[in-house]
Chains A and B, each alone.
Chain A
Amino acid sequence: GAVVSQHPSWVICKSGTSVKIECRSLDFQATTMFWYRQFPKQSLMLMATSNEGSKATYEQGVEKDKFLINHASLTLSTLTVTSAHPEDSSFYICSAFAGTLHEQYFGPGTRLTVT
């Protein structure tokens, strides 16, 4: 149990375009989902926290207009990178938290490359 999926697993896009990444909790309802980015050989950096039905809370320094987060249901959150630039190339990872499980479960990650 406690499986989190992400789609796509990797994506290449041209500079200036937008990319949407989906995060789904497959076998539990996630009251809260988190979005992270990770650069090579570095730790995970929390970008934002999303709660179902409410606006996401962004960490300091993260541009909310560039990284749009929507948590439409208890099993789905999406991250849209708008007007992507090469410096947005990174590994994006979501996690889902269910109060009943008291744990955070991570998705497999999405590798974004902006050319």
Chain B
Amino acid sequence: QQQVKQSPQSLIVQKGGISIINCAYENTAFDYFPWYQQFPGKGPALLIAIRPDVSEKKEGRFTISFNKSAKQFSLHIMDSQPGDSATYFCAATLGRDYKLSFGAGTTVTVRA
């Protein structure tokens, strides 16, 4: 049973546009929500993360929006660049064991 549902499966955006990826979770005990970026043939790299006591976090062109009541969180990539073309995974974890529950992933393609 997938504990974190991610959508869309893939998206194409023009250079300079905004990419939006959405995730929803069921377990209200989750207390840490990271996003990972993965390029083909490489391991995932931590992009940005948020805790449920914060509704938004921004780092450069990447922003996480968190809605605790709706049990949803999303990643916004502003001013998308061709170098952002990758697969993005949302995840959630419980503080006591740190095991990550991953979403299914979203392949983002940025067209120049």
Which residues of A come within 8 Å of B, CB atoms?
4, 6, 32, 34, 41-44, 46, 49, 91, 93, 95, 97, 102-109, 111
Which residues of B come within 8 Å of A, CB atoms?
32, 34, 36, 41-46, 49, 89, 97-100, 102-105, 107
Q: B98 near A109 (CB under 8 angstroms)?
A: no
Q: A46 near B49 (CB under 8 angstroms)?
A: no
Given A43-B89, A43-B104, A43-B105, decide whether A106 and B43 contact each other with a Cβ distance below 8 A.
yes
Q: B49 near A93 (CB under 8 angstroms)?
A: no
| Residue among B36, B41, B44, B105 making CB contact with A42, cutoff 8 Å | B105
Q: Which residue of A lies closest to B107 (CB)?
A: A41
The distance from the CB of B55 to the nearest CB of chain A, in whole angstroms, is 20
- By a CB distance below 8 angstroms, the chain A residues around B102 are 43-44
Q: A49 near B99 (CB under 8 angstroms)?
A: yes
